[in-house]
Structure 1
Amino acid sequence: MFFFEFYELGNLAHKLHSEEWSPSIDQALVIALQLAEALQYLHNLGIVHRDVKPANILLGENFSPCLADFGLAEYIKDLKKSSFLNWKSSGKPTGGFHKKNMVGTLIYMAPEILKKEIHTEKSDVYSFAVSVNELLTGIVPYTNLRAEAEAHTVLEMSYTEQKLIAAVVSDGLRPVLAVSELGAPLRLLSLIKQCWGQDPNNRPCFTDIVAELSSIRDEVKNAEVKKIIVPEPTISAQLSIENNPSSQIYGGSVNWSTQGAEISSEISIVGALNTSTSYDFLNDESSYKPVLSWGSFAACGQRETMEDTHFLIPGICDLKDVYLFGVFDGHRGAAAAEFSVQALPKLLQHFYSNGISPAESLIKAFVETDNAFRSALDSHRKFKGLIKKDWHPGCTAIAAFLVKSRLYIANAGDCRAILCKAGHSIALSRDHVASCLEERDRVVKEGGAVTWQLDTWRVGPAALQVTRSIGDDDLKPVVTAEPEILETPLSPEDEYLVMASDGLWDVMSNEEVVSIIRDTVKEPSMCAKRLATEAAQRGSKDNITVIVVFLRPVTTAERIY
């Protein structure tokens, strides 16, 4: 019962790559420290795990890690004997090495194991370091992907198995190290490098690792005591300016992702909720029930920085038939997108749980996310030097809210969603840009200025192309955050939903997207990856984020052929 309780909550690899979870540095340190203590305990008992990796780290309450899967574990005293028996029974080597002797998972295996030497406690130390670095970056080792950590993923990259083994053993290749600008303390990065050193004798033992991680954790806690509390946000959750180097904006110290996440700590919306449109999803009975599978892919493209964010949230409001997907495309910095990807789902859940209809909940969530972000900006500007007064970040946003068999699309800006119905593309949103006559007239009626600049119509002194967005406080209220809502019932003819930032749509039509998916193995993550890769090859100059949601079961034949 204990084991399956943990298993139900999922493992660290699933959390990082399927749910695309980005832990805070505090959460990462807690997981790393407790994992190190577990391995210290094992080693003190004379046991080597031999397959330490995120997929074997089960997560309990409050992300407490539990080391699992001892199928390859051995007592240290038996390793030499076990190795000899494996060699004796392995026969001819396959692919250049004896598989029975080389136990473990390739991308986490220490160089000495790849050279067919015997496991030691220091081999676990190496695997631990690669796993902790993956926890900090969210990236599968030796790739640039937030994707499932499976063998084929590595083979799709520039390395074959043999080339990767040779590079790790001979050239000292290691996964891309987490960077301190993302919030990782330099002492932690130094410890990771020591732990995955080439010479096992120079790697620290887990007693030393536990001591160092405890010291780093205390150092981070002491730094957090210096927080500055921001007064009077629109949502009464208190927002804080964290004194850490995690921000990428103007050298300031504001972690906008954390700011958005803290919206949920104490939500109290100003004004009474309109319950006259209350909606009970339990009464929305339909004979048709879509069967969902989903995946995503995000790439920086030709841009120097990544300003897109997105989320995939099944079972929102703890309801198994309610799903939420969203894409945010930042401009003038990533702050608005980083804030919104955390805040908007929590606000939507708050409104919907209080009896507001799905469409109205989406509208309120967009507007209140905008209010909360702009309020946070105003509060931060009161503290000299934290952010520039002339900095006005924003993001476009599109969200899909699926309640049983009804789909609600909320769009503000030029992200786009399409539905494939019986092999044909159906547009579920329209682009809110100044070149659209209806949007341009709306902006002018609101008192905004729209001028022709270079090759298109643009709004205000900031020359913004979009007419709806979250943030962009220098252009409010003419650039509104209120989304357009499209509601549609789903039927057996509906095959899949595609949502993406304009980095995809700039170089690809709706029909081309459907055509590419038709010729791709029917697995959502692979379809999303192929669309983004094709967009990059066609010369897209923007960040590219794609979500693909299949709305019906996919047969084995479709997956393979």
Structure 2
Amino acid sequence: MGAFLDKPKTEKHNAHGAGNGLRYGLSSMQGWRVEMEDAHTAVVGIPHGLEDWSFFAVYDGHAGSRVANYCSTHLLEHITNNEDFRATEKPGSALEPSVENVKSGIRTGFLKIDEYMRNFSDLRNGMDRSGSTAVGVMISPEHVYFINCGDSRAVLYRNGQVCFSTQDHKPCNPREKERIQNAGGSVMIQRVNGSLAVSRALGDYDYKCVDGKGPTEQLVSPEPEVCEILRAEEDEFIILACDGIWDVMSNEELCEFVKSRLEVSDDLEKVCNWVVDTCLHKGSRDNMSIVLVCFSNAPKVSDEAVKKDAELDKYLESRVEGKSILFTRNDVIAFLSMKTKLLKAIMPLYVGSNSGMVVCLNFYVSGKNVFKPRGYCILVFHKHFLNVSFRFVLYLYRSKCNLVKCYIS
């Protein structure tokens, strides 16, 4: 946990599917980490009477992939097969579980799978100390159940804005910190006993052995937070992602990015790939996984957006010289004027560099009188020229160009 490669592994695992009025795509990348410890679940049509329900989840493993991989295969069955989830059903009936039974069943399923895995020999004897966060959604015809245990995150984008987000379970949160201290632990450098960065997780049994305390009272709790939201016609998409994504993009930034990409492609795998590529080049050093679930009201491909995107690629290609992209000040002004909406740069963050003065700009695009995050750009000032990199990392990645190195003469 915490070890890095000399260069990132950028091969991706992809999948997609559709059903129950939903479309989904997913992408995962190992990145800079020595091992790939993420896992995911995507089920459209839950077996045994819930065929019009769907379940999606992302698991961010740490100290190994054992727990994450097992949960990706078996968590759903632990949820739907327990007595709390099915409490309102009668044998042979088509009656669906109530909202309270679903929420109770999800919590019970987490506790049951956590106790079940504790008996695995390698986890019991300490040979494997792995754990995993879990974030998921269970989608019924009427509700979306958001499920979170740890610091992965899910967001719902509705009617052009972030409508809901799960809350990260961090040791420094007052409620989490109180439980940790009541179990005899401490929070140091924002970690449980100075070590673990999450306060809720599956596995991590070294933190679940305090005598006299129940499973939800331990240093690390396996209890998920479950919230139900009524579905609405304005629902556009849900994003599930691990902290390798959220570490470098806020809820609003990621949703705006996904929205803009859905306007140029209906390939959800490709959209997810754009996300992980962007996060890698924005500095994420973790494994990266994202599941994108689109409702029928999700943004559609726009001919105008496709045209503008193609024009931008063509313009960038015209500026390639060898393995660098060179822009004059006038080129940057021309690039900004190509956008159909007004772009502005907020106060930059200055960073000293051997290759000149580096300025990180956060571009905002106006819409409905509100400036929304659009992406990042790094400008390297070198005499009278500007070398533009981060805004164009997707192009650089596709064209195999290296980021330009600038030397002060």
> Could you tell me how far 1:546 is from its partner in structure 2?
0.1
- Tell me whether 1:493 sits opposite 2:225 in the alignment: no
- Tell me whether 1:541 sits opposite 2:274 in the alignment: no
Deviations 1:38-65 (A, max 9, x none): xxxxxxxxxxxxxxxxxxxxxxxxxxxx
- Aligned to 1:437, which of 174, 183, 189? 174
- Tell me whether 1:317 sits opposite 2:47 in the alignment: yes
CA distance in 2, matches of 1:367, 1:316: 20
CA distance in 1, matches of 2:239, 2:32: 22
Cα 1:558–1:322 change in 2 (3 A) is farther
Aligned to 2:21: 291
Deviations 1:194-246 (A, max 9, x none): xxxxxxxxxxxxxxxxxxxxxxxxxxxxxxxxxxxxxxxxxxxxxxxxxxxxx
CA distance in 1, matches of 2:103, 2:187: 30
Aligned to 1:373: 117
| Higher helix fraction (1 or 2) | 1
Alignment of 1:164-313 (within 5 A): 291-313=21-43
Partner secondary structure for residue 371 of structure 1: helix
> Could you tell me how far 1:343 is from its partner in structure 2?
1.8
- Tell me whether 1:345 sits opposite 2:76 in the alignment: yes
> Could you tell me how far 1:290 is from its partner in structure 2?
7.5
Q: Name the aligned partner's letter for residue 139 of structure 2.
A: L
Q: Name the aligned partner's letter for residue 244 of structure 2.
A: G
> Could you tell me how far 1:556 is from its partner in structure 2?
6.3
- Tell me whether 1:421 sits opposite 2:158 in the alignment: yes
Q: Name the aligned partner's letter for residue 166 of structure 2.
A: S
5+ residue gaps, structure 1: 1-142, 150-288, 382-386
- Aligned to 1:483, which of 207, 224, 233? 224
> Could you tell me how far 1:404 is from its partner in structure 2?
1.1
Answer whether contact 2:245 2:289 (CA < 8 A) is retained. Answer: yes
Cα 1:488–1:554 change in 2 (3 A) is closer
Partner secondary structure for residue 295 of structure 1: strand
> Could you tell me how far 1:412 is from its partner in structure 2?
0.6
- Aligned to 1:523, which of 267, 272, 295? 267
5+ residue gaps, structure 2: 1-9, 89-96, 209-217, 307-409
- Aligned to 1:474, which of 202, 206, 214? 206
Answer whether contact 1:417 1:498 (CA < 8 A) is retained. Answer: yes
Alignment of 1:386-401 (within 5 A): 388=127, 391-401=128-138
Partner secondary structure for residue 147 of structure 1: strand
Indicate the RMSD between aligned Cα atoms, in angstroms: 2.4
Deviations 1:20-79 (A, max 9, x none): xxxxxxxxxxxxxxxxxxxxxxxxxxxxxxxxxxxxxxxxxxxxxxxxxxxxxxxxxxxx
- Tell me whether 1:146 sits opposite 2:13 in the alignment: yes
By relative contact order (CA 8 Å, sep 6+), the higher-ranking structure is 2
> Could you tell me how far 1:447 is from its partner in structure 2?
2.8
Aligned to 1:48: none
Cα 1:397–1:556 change in 2 (3 A) is closer
> Could you tell me how far 1:538 is from its partner in structure 2?
0.4
Answer whether contact 2:236 2:299 (CA < 8 A) is retained. Answer: no
Answer whether contact 1:290 1:552 (CA < 8 A) is retained. Answer: no
Partner secondary structure for residue 146 of structure 1: strand
Answer whether contact 1:522 1:554 (CA < 8 A) is retained. Answer: no
CA distance in 1, matches of 2:77, 2:242: 22
Q: Name the aligned partner's letter for residue 235 of structure 2.
A: D
Task: Tell me the matched-pair count.
Answer: 268
Aligned to 1:101: none
> Could you tell me how far 1:320 is from its partner in structure 2?
3.0
- Aligned to 2:64, which of 322, 326, 333? 333
Q: Name the aligned partner's letter for residue 341 of structure 1.
A: S
Aligned to 2:352: none
Q: TM (normalized to structure 2)?
A: 0.61
| Higher strand fraction (1 or 2) | 2
> Could you tell me how far 1:147 is from its partner in structure 2?
3.4
Q: Name the aligned partner's letter for residue 299 of structure 1.
A: M
Partner secondary structure for residue 549 of structure 1: strand
> Could you tell me how far 1:467 is from its partner in structure 2?
0.3
CA distance in 2, matches of 1:489, 1:330: 30
> Could you tell me how far 1:354 is from its partner in structure 2?
5.5
Aligned to 1:255: none
> Considering only CA atoms, is the larger Rg found in Structure 1 or Structure 2?
1
Alignment of 1:35-50 (within 5 A): none
- Aligned to 2:254, which of 500, 508, 513? 513
- Aligned to 2:196, which of 464, 469, 479? 464
